[in-house]
Amino acid sequence: MTKKDFPPILYGKGIASLTIIGDFSRRYPRNKPTPHFSKVKKEYPKLFVCIMDRFGGYRSFLRRIKRPMPKTSAKERAFIRYSSNVSLNYYKNNWSSLEELAWCFLINLGLEDFFIHNCPFPSPSGSFYKLDFFSILFKLHISVDGVFHSAIPKQKERDEEKDKYLAKYNIKTIHLTSSDFKDWLLCQNKIWTAILEGGYQWIL
């Protein structure tokens, strides 16, 4: 059976969860490996959008329907092992070098008293997200994305899932990438712009 053999689904915001689950299961049966999120996004973009809207993320959706997570490639597994070793120093000191720079930006802007480093925030799975820098007052999360965030697709998926979940609580997320840190003014402007767009002009 090919893609064309399936009847069209009228996707929309009001689509039922069971309809999404049923359509996904027909296109990707349980007797076959779970597809990577990029494959679903490419082959059935409307279905992927509905999954993200209804379940808050692809991984949350797979947990809901009790499907195994997609298998990682040998290259991804090698990088995960490498990143685990490199990140040991971070977990010992609780600060990465880029986070230390970001904290310097907040000090220069006079905003250090408004942000909490590694702030725990409840996640849909019942555990906690660790927000790099979070301001309750500004409802702003500053995510410091090092090389690990851009190197493997799964991390990007997790970030998108987390951003979408935080947005439900009117929390805006801005990402400072490793390339952004080459321009300090750019980083500080990103922070200021996000605060002012949130309607906090009184901080000036």
Query: Which structural domains are found in the chain, ordered by start?
Result: 3-64 (no CATH), 87-203 (3.40.960.10)
Sign of CA dihedral 50, 52, 53, 55: positive
User: pLDDT under 70 in the chain at which residues?
Assistant: 1-15, 76, 79-94, 148-153, 201-204
pLDDT at 144: 92
Which of 52, 55, 53, 48 lies closest to 23, judged by CA? 48
Q: What is the identity of the amino acid at 128?
A: F
Model pLDDT, residue 152: 62
Please tell me the predicted confidence (pLDDT) of residue 157.
Answer: 82
Q: Starting from the edge strand earliest in sequence, which strands make up the sheet with 172-177, in order?
A: 116-122, 128-135, 140-145, 172-177
Residues 6+ apart with CB under 8 A from 196: 204
Give the C-alpha separation, 59 to 52, whole Å. Answer: 9
How far is residue 182's CA from residue 32's CA, in Å, rounded to a whole number? Answer: 44
**CB burial of residue 18 (10 Å; 0-12, 13-18, 19+):** exposed
Distance CA 189, CA 2 (A): 50
Strands 116-122 vs 128-135: parallel, antiparallel or unpaired: antiparallel
The predicted pLDDT at position 85 comes to: 61
Pair 40, 63: CB distance under 8 Å: no
- pTM (2 d.p.): 0.56
H/E run at residue 190: helix 184-197
d(CA 43, CA 47): 9
Say if residues 72 and 36 touch (Cβ distance below 8 Å): no
